[in-house]
Structure 1
Amino acid sequence: MGIGPRGAALYVGFLDPVGNAALDAPGLSASVTTGPTYIWGAMFPESARTASLRDLRGAALRAALLDRFREHRWAGHTLEVLARADPISVAAFRFNAASTRAADLAPWPAGRITALGDAVHATPPTAGMGAGAAVRDAADLLAELDALPGAAGVAEAVGRFEARMRVRGAEVLTAAMRTVRLILATDTVPGALATAALCPLLAAATRLRRPPAAHAVAARS
């Protein structure tokens, strides 16, 4: 993820569920994405300057995002991912975030019905951990229920699961909100000035730390 002045942030990820699958048998997993693709998200604080973006879709939204990033002097090669995006895949939405306090999550008595993932700890995508936390929730619940000898003790098993889920969800939310607060800080006058001054220095330091082999690979890609 990259964060620039005036609350402009962009994350980009590469997904290849078949050619570079995380599992040994990708064909067994249903997926909307079947070929290599980039997944990206542009983030801006809600304000009078960004209100018009929420009503845009498709090519109009893509063009508006590119204009906004260019206005903030983002590198052209970085924005190429946005420029090549299929317009039909571009849409705007708001973030939701649950409390970062574990005690505030799943505030109900344990029983035979429960919830997990964003239904309990709604997490902005600013830490890249929300979906993973939901998968861990599901695996944890399954392990608790699978260990039961019979139908008895379900509520107790769910209670143990929910206790761990509260802690796990609070940790993920804390990490995600840390990035959100950083994005909001760059939307202030001091934050914008500091970010504009520091970004070139950080980029130069990153290039210096990169090993020579990485430069060679990047040149061939």
Structure 2
Amino acid sequence: MLDAPGLRVAVTTGPSYIWGAMFPESPRTDLLRDVTGSALRDALLTRFRQHGWSERSLEVIARADAARVAAFRFNAASIRARDLAPWPAGHTTALGDAVHATPPTAGMGAGAAILDAAGLVDHLCGVRAATTTLSVAVSRFEAEMRLRGSVMLTLAMKTVRLILATDTRLGTVLTGGTLPVLAAVNRVRR
């Protein structure tokens, strides 16, 4: 990446903030998808102020480069194992987000893909040792991947539900009251 001048915008040279907001599906949220730049940043600031966000948090958003603020929709895969990899096993398979896409809030996508790759290698080693056929190895891999993916997605969606719960007046009050307590407990435990 460092050798490609067009991609250097991804390189940070100083302190950087990466922030995001997650809103439940609604007509109000849908309106944000067509807004860009400073209008989007201002709309987010207004919404966060309405929900009682602290001025220190809002300052980070207010100082964000408006050209780099964007809205997008993300979808996660089904949490039901039977819905993942619903095709018949054969000589070709898929892994990672192609099968069990996790929401960006989970921090599990790359790890899940690595576990999938390791599982596939384990099963393919059995083929090389002539203890099983390729299609049986792929079928067994996919069965394990569906179960593992289902567990990861279930955990990831708990985080999503928690985040969405804070987008209410009660959620804002509870979050504002409990986070300082949790931070103090964490400092004491160190």
Q: Deviations over 1:122-176 (max 9, x none)?
A: 2222322233212322232234335542798222221122111101110111112
**How far has the Cα of 1:109 moved from its partner?**
1.5
Residue 202, structure 1, aligned to residue 186, structure 2: no
Partner of 1:22: none
Partner of 1:175: 155
Q: Retained in 1: the 8 A contact 2:52–2:172?
A: no
Query: Which ranges of structure 1 fall in alignment gaps of 5 or more residues?
Result: 1-30, 215-221
Among the aligned pairs, what percent are the same residue? 59
Cα distance, 1:61–1:147 mapped onto 2, change above 3 Å: farther
Counterparts of 2:19 and 2:134 in 1: how far apart (Å)? Answer: 40
Q: Deviations over 1:87-121 (max 9, x none)?
A: 33322221212221111211112111111122211
**Structure richer in strand, relative to its length:** 1
Partner of 1:35: 12
**How far has the Cα of 1:65 moved from its partner?**
1.4
Which of 163, 171, 176 matches 2:143? 163
| Residue correspondences, number | 181
**How far has the Cα of 1:32 moved from its partner?**
7.7
Query: Which ranges of structure 2 fall in alignment gaps of 5 or more residues?
Result: 1-7
Residue 123, structure 1, aligned to residue 99, structure 2: no
Q: Retained in 1: the 8 A contact 2:38–2:66?
A: yes
Partner of 2:75: 96
SS in 2 for 1:174: helix
Runs of 4+ in 1 over 6 A off after TM superposition: none
SS in 2 for 1:155: helix
Cα distance, 1:211–1:179 mapped onto 2, change above 3 Å: closer
Which of 51, 64, 69 matches 1:85? 64
Q: Retained in 1: the 8 A contact 2:95–2:117?
A: yes
SS in 2 for 1:41: coil
SS in 1 for 2:89: coil
Q: Retained in 2: the 8 A contact 1:130–1:172?
A: no
Structure 1 stretch displaced more, 121-130 or 144-153: 144-153
SS in 2 for 1:112: coil
Residue 134, structure 1, aligned to residue 113, structure 2: yes
Cα distance, 1:186–1:86 mapped onto 2, change above 3 Å: closer
